[in-house]
A and B are shown apart, each in its own frame.
Chain A
């Protein structure tokens, strides 16, 4: 029996993506005494984005302000996880996790393989661009971390996934990189937090179609759906797949979709060199070459730092317009 949701979720007309993240942490703190939160400005202040608002008061001695020491924050989490705790570390911005890169990829990610002792810790990365955020508050780091063995990398695109995948991720025995998209924080609302609750490792068909498959994750799922809606007006039926987690990567769902449509476009907000979209295209080409009626395509951000000005930013990342254009190109092959 699931415990009832926090009152906030029962009384509100709608729940935002960041509400879901806050409530997931509240539930984890309530249900598991091993869970604690450690991050900059997350205690009384409630976090730069208010993802931990009120939790320090509700759970005294379990929510801690951290010094501006990303490396030491993850080192602390590894040590605490060895000792049986379930730390959740909030990076103020995904971009700043570069300072903790060594502890994440060399300490946490190698620990189980080397010692046989798993380190169940979760790193929350407020990811992706928002207008005006500029080069150092906009990055998408999922491809970097997915490259390393020993990490699970989650990229929820819906309110329900934001909630359930954080809970499921914290319960896993391995280090989890939880990429939450800042653009979705308050913009994305849902009537219920209780979605279909798929297990981690399974992608979702967001919108069925038959003419082409668009594989996306995180905020790009919504841009892909918008593009598919526009093309629907012209009679095209575009299937949109939400990867949900980029590691593990559910190629079964992707290949099954490509088998139906014969065409693949992989869309990501990260930089274009390598990364998740390249992995999806490479695996589809090598495992599903016979399913393809057209060369598989990728659409990513531009190969520059993420620009500050909203006009430049909007043109830096894939948009419904650029996704439509890419799909039309794919369909015209």
Chain B
């Protein structure tokens, strides 16, 4: 099957932009320029970008999670949103009130994740439910990514079950990167394969090699299409290996060498680069030009955010409520 050329090109460019940006974030963290955690999606770009590129910003909903820089980029989140949030610029969407990957633009279809895993599934379901009540649901898809560890939460189960019961167009991509922080999957669940769970929810489940861009694009792209056509929730489980620690404070030394040197230890960007050239999706010259453009874009996004004002606790509005209660006379 021939996959849409523009879709693949968009997904690959998002992978590249995410990887180069995250390499820079890692350097900034190690140089002490970023306070708090830095969480990378290294090794998960093919999965994340395939999802983000299949969605339409302004219409669809994408609840990105911790390792979705590529998907965010493919969906249309500006790179500056990322650097502003990591560097605490008041001009960013979170204005220094929240950091790193805890960011979003809810009114543009990008809810901002909380740290408690599994919690975004029902939020996306609620956004889709509202669209249905408003008569705006046809043709819309809501999607979220989640890791193998988060599938153990009650929130994940409640959210998927509710979305299935309501028959909402929700696409759930489980990136099984084999480790939840340091915990391997054999200490996370006992089923043979996470995709088996889909049947229990009464929804279709699909497996894919998460290190293979073309496979991801096909499987995830098709699932998004089916959801868009009204086939209800879709679950995809992508097998891969996290190529970084949980965060940049973590060297991931608990990942055994045989996994790193195994099939899923291969770098999805290198695989994708070969696929792009060999499949005629891009010329080698284009691939090099994209790298150069992206490196410059990363430099600009970091430099701009670094020059911008940070929050001032003395002038900050310390309001957790939008309601203003006026005292009676």
Contact = CB atoms under 8 A, between A and B. Distances in A.
Interface of A: 36, 61-62, 66-67, 69-85, 87, 99, 102-103, 106-107, 109-118, 149-150, 152, 172-174, 199-202, 248, 252
Given A85-B133, A174-B323, A79 B162 contact: no
B322 A83 contact: no
Contacts of B158: 67, 69-72, 75
Given A67-B165, A114-B97, A75 B155 contact: yes
A189 to B, nearest CB: 29
A9 B98 CA distance: 48
B49 interface: no
Contact of B114 (A69, A72, A106, A252): A106
Given A71-B158, A72-B159, A118 B322 contact: yes
Contact of B93 (A76, A99, A115): A115
Contact of B126 (A79, A102, A116, A149): A79
Interface residues of B, number: 46
Contacts of B133: 36, 61-62, 80, 85
A198 to B, nearest CB: 9
Contact of B161 (A72, A106, A149): A72
Contacts of B97: 113-114
Contacts of B115: 106
A152 B320 CA distance: 10
A113 B155 contact: no
Contacts of B219: none
Contacts of B98: 114
Contacts of A252: 327
Interface string B121-137: 11111111111011000
Contacts of B130: 79-80, 82-85
A73 B161 CA distance: 11
Contacts of A85: 130, 133-134
A243 B122 CA distance: 34
A82 B122 contact: no
Contacts of A103: 119, 122, 155
A277 B127 CA distance: 38
Contact of B129 (A74, A80, A116): A80
A82 B125 CA distance: 12
B314 interface: no
A174 to B, nearest CB: 5
A70 B154 CA distance: 10
A77 B94 CA distance: 22
A33 B158 CA distance: 27
